[in-house]
Amino acid sequence: MSKFMQSTHTELSVQSVEWSKVAEDYYHTTKSIRAIAIKHGISDTAIRKHAKLHGWRRPSAVSLASARRVSVLSHAIEVQLATVDSVIERSRRFVAAMIQLGAEPADIARALSVSERSLMVEFRGEFNRHNGSGAQA
């Protein structure tokens, strides 16, 4: 096969490639260029040429690993915050129930191991809803 025919044949087969999918693998996986080429039915040389022509720069495996660690850390923090939010919500329900049962603020504060002043500041809304006044603090 002549050089002209080889280059024409390669260009024709490479033109039918979905480069957006190749780019997705190129940028967002740690697969080798050869593995990406096999997956998309093209040569690794075609990917390298296309990447050079279009200025593709592959992120390093280190940055991908660090992004995964950040993602895992982000999820862990999200879970912790949800837990904190649920504790706060349970505290609010507890205080509201104690108020409805007629418990004194000093007793509620003691049960939560906080000062009465902190209780009144933090749970002002619950006390106001139960007393029906907006003025008590």
**pLDDT tens per residue across span 46-65:** 999 999 999 888 877 567 66
Res. 15 pLDDT band, cuts 50 70 90: low
User: Buried b / exposed e across 67-99, counting CB within 10 Å, b at 16+?
Assistant: eeeeeeeeeeeeeeeeeeeeeeeebeeebbebb
pLDDT at 59: 75
Judge if pTM exceeds 0.75. Answer: no
**pLDDT number for residue 107:** 93
DSSP state of 41: T
